[in-house]
Structure 1
Amino acid sequence: MTSAPAEEGGGALRTVHVAGAGLIGASVGLALRRAGVTVTLSDADPEVARRAEELGAGKAALPEEPVDVLVAAAPPAAVAGVLLEAVAAGRARTYTDVAGVKEGPLRAVADAHPGLASLVGGHPMAGRERSGPGAARTDLFEGRPWIVTPLPGSGAEHVERVEALALACGAVPVRMEPAEHDRAVALVSHAPHVVAALVAGRLAAAPERAVGVAGTGVRDITRVAESDPAPWLSLLTANAAPVAEVLRALRADLDRALDALDALAAGGATTDDVEALLRAGNAGRQRLPGRHGGPVEHLATVPVVVPDRPGELARLLVAVEEAGVNVEDLEIEHSLGQPAGLAEVLVRPGEADRLAAALTAAGWSVHR
């Protein structure tokens, strides 16, 4: 998607400086340049900024004149320092950040500059398991929430300018108070990461034969546990109290699950309590927004056997295109010790039978 420079209260968003050229900072640069914005970059490590420039995220240099927005793309512990240096140097009209914790860093800057109207927090709800500018993507923020956290003294034009920044990156601005943001991300991001790490940690000392039969379920649950621990340690340190609150509530739920399972194991209870736990999970999952923030989409799965040979997956996707069906999602599961995998092609329910018939006619093995 190509878009024109975003319009906002002070006119078009034309110049942005990104201080921090890792995954998020470089992705911001790529997205803004796609939208026609002039971007400069800096980083505590000049080599990181040079690599981001090489990838097209902007020019590795400090701005010669104040830019429309300066984005502090640093870990929570470093954000306040980056913003304080930038404000002191007068580098921008509006200052924001992209850190995953808001209240502490923003309060430190506001306390140092009482009445600073040009400071507005921000946090795009997007990321990857990989880090560094080499993992940056132009479309990383497409359709994702970008939480904008004004302070009591933030000026309206500066809030609009940060929202224009989010829109230029393809994201959907959502306003929250800083403390509300920190509680929200503890629930939907930080505590789940800890849980994923705990589940994955149980695999570390497990028998090889047990780990060897792992399927997609445990892979889905533990996917984020692959992430570099360093940025997560920074996030958990800065947001420790809200995360601990969520984990304590989860511990109470876990205790109830243990009591129910112990009762079942003893043979003196029904499955009602366990069923209630599972149905609560169904209900919570249904509350998550679907793609682009809309309602959850109920898709149909068309499982297709794909030989483990070069080019077979591409051939399958060509066959789906020839059937005139749009692929909403695609998952691949490799069978243990087998020369084939199972591609689960997710489509709209009304198209599943037609796709299955077309693929079968084209010689594919479809499991319905």
Structure 2
Amino acid sequence: MRTLVPSPVRIIGTGLIGGSLGMALSGAGVPVQVEDVSPGTTALAVELGVGALPAPEDEDPALVLVAAPPDVAAALVDRALRSWPQALVSDVASVKTTVLEGLRERARPADLPRYIGGHPMAGREVSGLIAARADLFQGRPFVVVPHERTLPEAVTALRGLATEIGAVPVTLDAASHDIAVAQVSHVPQVMASLLGATLLEPTETALGLSGQGLRDTTRIADSDPRLWVEILGANAAAVAAVLSPVQERLTAVLAALDSLTGSPDPARGSRRALADLIADGNRGVRRIPGKHGGRTDAFATLVVLVPDRPGELARLLTEIGQIGVNLEDLRLEHELGRAVGLAHIAIDASREELLTRELAERGWTVAEA
């Protein structure tokens, strides 16, 4: 089978990302060799379909993917460059400047053109090989990070790999990549963890009042501390640069709340500071791209009550299709003991009135979003 990826591919490190890459590439017909510091993990990777154990008679890899944390990635990339002098070598660590600088310190100058950074923007709250999935990268950005001496064929190969596994290739330099992931990944992790940490204090009764909003905002707080210490440490400067304005804004919010607490004459602008925060949050969230890459403020969200009976959600989705409205996004909310679930349906804003009317005529209850 002809693919866009030079092969065979050697994957060094078979955790969540390395394992998922191997599954996706193997599924696309690319010969994959697997290697891990743990013999047990390597054996499990073979059993799960990540790839095959390399044999002495096998061809040398044409492309090596190092799937390891930022603090060890440079050393492993350097080892791969020296071991296979004809291979292109990439790493998929979530921070790129640290890896590139480490490589410049240790690699032979003649080897550097064969290196290109990469970062698939995909993951799960759970880590490890057992959580790997072949479809993890479908529709997700895959950042291709060349440096000033990277060979053009290395760029082509990594963009081809991204396309082959169903991802969307995006090219950035290392510094731009690191500030971008601080903004959209690393700082959100810090904020979710901060919020999650506040939940150590409430009573069980208080926690019993929680709803979907709390689950949504704390979902990624349940992440691997060891992994995130490495990621945040490797990208410390970029993360701090993004968090600094957050700290300033939080200080202003605290001042506003203090002014409004039991004061007959709160400071002027206190309520405005709170309103501005919520409004800016609205505008920021609407900038997150939807499934077609466009801004989500072009969409409208309907909330439809779905009876807690088998087949009801399937019936709703079928009838939306019959009405002729395309579903842009779907989120389900279902609290324990409630007789109905809430289906939050995002559609093109121009179709909101039609869908609301047609669903009501078919017996569905449409609530305000």
> TM-score if structure 2 supplies the norm length?
0.87
Match of 2:216 in 1: 220
Q: 1:297 offset after TM fit, Å?
A: 5.3
Alignment of 1:175-254 (within 5 A): 175-254=171-250
Q: Secondary structure at the match of 2:210?
A: coil
Contact 1:305 1:365 in 2 (8 A): yes
Partners of 1:172 and 1:128 in 2: how far apart? 18
Contact 1:41 1:62 in 2 (8 A): no
Q: 1:26 offset after TM fit, Å?
A: 1.8
Q: In the TM superposition, what whole-angstrom CA distance separates every residue of 1:252-299 from its partner, at most 9, and x where no partner exists?
A: 111111122223333423422222222322333333333253333533
2:68 counterpart (64, 69, 74): 74
Verify: 1:20 aligned to 2:13, yes or no: yes
Aligned residues: 361
Contact 1:143 1:292 in 2 (8 A): no
Contact 1:290 1:297 in 2 (8 A): no
Partners of 2:292 and 2:364 in 1: how far apart? 32
Q: In the TM superposition, what whole-angstrom CA distance separates every residue of 1:302-321 from its partner, at most 9, and x where no partner exists?
A: 32323334444344434444
Partners of 1:47 and 1:178 in 2: how far apart? 34
> TM-score if structure 1 supplies the norm length?
0.87
Q: Give 2:177's aligned amino acid.
A: H
Match of 2:338 in 1: 338
Contact 1:335 1:342 in 2 (8 A): no
Contact 2:81 2:87 in 1 (8 A): no
Q: In the TM superposition, what whole-angstrom CA distance separates every residue of 1:333-352 from its partner, at most 9, and x where no partner exists?
A: 22464233222233333444
Q: Secondary structure at the match of 2:94?
A: coil
CA spacing shift, 1:312–1:288, aligned 2, 3 Å: closer
Q: Secondary structure at the match of 2:341?
A: strand
Contact 1:65 1:91 in 2 (8 A): no
Q: Cα RMSD (Å) of the superposition?
A: 2.6
CA spacing shift, 1:19–1:334, aligned 2, 3 Å: same
142-151 vs 55-64, which moves further:
55-64
Q: Percent identity?
A: 42
1:163 counterpart (145, 149, 159): 159
Question: Any unmatched runs of 5+ in structure 1?
Answer: 7-11
Partners of 1:208 and 1:140 in 2: how far apart? 35
Partners of 2:55 and 2:348 in 1: how far apart? 48
Q: 1:201 offset after TM fit, Å?
A: 0.8
Contact 1:70 1:92 in 2 (8 A): no
52-61 vs 230-239, which moves further:
52-61
Match of 2:92 in 1: 98
Match of 1:9 in 2: none
CA spacing shift, 1:111–1:95, aligned 2, 3 Å: same
1:260 counterpart (256, 261, 267): 256
Match of 1:5 in 2: 3
Match of 1:285 in 2: 285
Partners of 1:301 and 1:87 in 2: how far apart? 50
Q: 1:224 offset after TM fit, Å?
A: 0.6
Q: Secondary structure at the match of 1:99?
A: coil
Partners of 1:292 and 1:324 in 2: how far apart? 18
Partners of 1:292 and 1:66 in 2: how far apart? 39
Q: 1:150 offset after TM fit, Å?
A: 1.8
Contact 1:117 1:155 in 2 (8 A): yes
1:32 counterpart (25, 30, 53): 25
